[in-house]
Amino acid sequence: MDYQEAERYVFGLTDYEILPRQSLSFDLGRVEHLLFALGNPHLASRTIHIAGTKGKGSVAAMIEAGLKDAGHRVGLYTSPHLSTPRERVRVDGRPIKEEEFARLTERIRQAAERIEDLTTFEVLTAIAFTYFEEKKVEFQVLEVGLGGRLDATNVVHPEVCIITSISLDHTEVLGSTLACVAYEKAGIIKPGVPVISAPQEEEVEKVIEDTCEQRGAPLIKSKQEISLEYESHDLTGQKVLVSMDGISYQLTLPLLGEHQLENAALAILVLKTLRVSPMGIAKISWPGRLQVVKEKPLTILDGAHNSDSALKLRLALGKYFPGTEPVFVLGLSQDKNASEILDALLPGSFIFTSPPHPRAASPQSLALLAREKGISFHVAPDLSSALDFALSCARPHNLVCVTGSLFLISPALSHLGVRVLDSFR
């Protein structure tokens, strides 16, 4: 099996990232059976497990950077990918090689012959665990794919659990209330295992508190333990003042956005729990998150994919790039609340396009909404056309921001002459 065959096999399985969400069927028994056949590789390393609605990947990448800088061998498993599934499985910052991906896929295919209905995500999860075991990583940092309670990653015995900010998302799967979503996310909490939680809405906080109490898990609330204060920024990141345990120090964070201070607080508390210096966070590599890729005209990429993330993006643009008027190149998935996202991003003008994804919303549907709201817009048939139009129309006071879906980031980077894999070194 070569790499192309391996990709076809993995993504030829049931792939819930492209299927309608209503069709999801969770069953941890499948992945447990598969991992047992592989010798339980998921139990070979110390584990950091991360659930939440927003910021999971950023927190995971910060923890990876801190552990790696301290001299530890680290495996990182995140989703989705920007350009290649190999990005999802990294050791010491480097994506798994094509030949290793193919070899492990063949091994897992053979082990899975008697297991029915395996999904793409379950097999990718097994590839990650098997690869991390082979590479003898000391730590594996795992981002939950969807939810938490029944996610394929929720078979580990973690050393620490993290719950990032929770908001309504994937409601057709996780439930229509914050409490329902929180219940699914809190499913990663294990008896006796410390839980580090971001500031949450009251009803979310109660679910997390109750779950920790029921399972005897110590709860650490980041807002009570640490504070991060913005000091300055440039196009490559920001300087923040960290205050914890009566001590203050400056930290370089190569990610823009006030929400990244909240994510960094979680990462620092995790590293403290593991007795590791947080200064390595300065070496994080995490593209597609308020990433400045061009200065003239100022061009920014951000994978904000729900209304809460969109609002944080809009606030960040106002704070970090004051005096600019954004031109949004926007593409969304069908399951997103397009009306709320548009409202969150205002004021601004819009160029609607379609992410290269089977669940993409049509630009025409976004145009109908925009017309109802009296928003200035243009419709482009594809991302390349949308970007070219935005760049050609941008005036000195404008910035161009590509957002709405992580699936836009890779083709946008490619169109602008930036290779995603160059960011993972």
C-alpha–C-alpha distance, residues 70 and 199, integer Å: 28
Name the pairing type of β-strands 89-91 and 219-221.
Answer: unpaired
Instruction: Report CA torsion sign: 411, 81, 132, 108.
Output: negative
Q: What is the pLDDT of residue 162?
A: 98
pLDDT at 251: 96
Query: What would the mean pLDDT of 8-16 be, rounded to a whole number?
Result: 85
Q: Report the alpha-carbon distance of residue 336 to residue 325 in Å, rounded.
A: 25
Q: Which CATH superfamily is domain 291-423 in?
A: Mur ligase, C-terminal domain (3.90.190.20)
Residue 231: helix, strand or coil by DSSP?
strand
Percent of the chain with pLDDT over 70: 94
pLDDT at 167 over 90: no
Among 150, 181, 183, 151, which residue's Cα sits nearest to residue 167? 181
**Both tokens assigned to 196:** 């580090």
Cis previous bond, 297, omega within 30: yes
d(CA 354, CA 425) in angstroms, rounded, equals 30
pLDDT tens digits for range 235-272 = 989 999 999 999 999 999 999 998 999 999 999 999 99
pLDDT for the residue numbered 360: 86
Q: Where are the domains of the chain?
A: 3-283, 291-423
Q: With bands split at pLDDT 50, 70 and 90, how would you rate the model's confidence at 117? A: confident
Phi, psi of 89 (to 5 degrees): -120, 105
Tokens of 401: 């921001």
**pLDDT value, residue 336:** 86
pLDDT at 338: 92
CA distances, 411 to each of 17, 271, 417 (Å)? 18, 34, 10
3-state secondary structure of 394: coil
- Which two tokens mark 64? 């990876």
Task: Please name the amino acid found at residue 298.
Answer: L
* pLDDT at residue number 285: 85
Q: How confident is the model at residue 168 (pLDDT cuts 50, 70, 90)?
A: confident
In order, the DSSP letters of 85-144 are GGGGEEETTEEPPHHHHHHHHHHHHHHTTT-TT-BHHHHHHHHHHHHHHHTT-SEEEEE-
The C-alpha torsion from 65 through 71 and 72 to 76, rounded to 10°, is 20
Among 262, 265, 357, 263, smallest CA distance to 305 is for 357
pLDDT at 123 over 60: yes
Q: pLDDT tens across 301-314, in order?
A: 998 878 888 998 99
Give yes or no for residue 331 having a pLDDT over 90.
Answer: yes
pLDDT in tens, 139-161: 999 999 988 999 999 999 999 99
The whole-number average pLDDT for the span 181-187 is 94
Work out the pLDDT band at 196, boundaries 50, 70, 90: very high
Confidence grade of residue 215 (pLDDT, cut at 50, 70, 90): very high
Choose between 85 and 20: higher pLDDT.
Answer: 85
CATH architecture of 3-283: 3-Layer(aba) Sandwich (3.40)
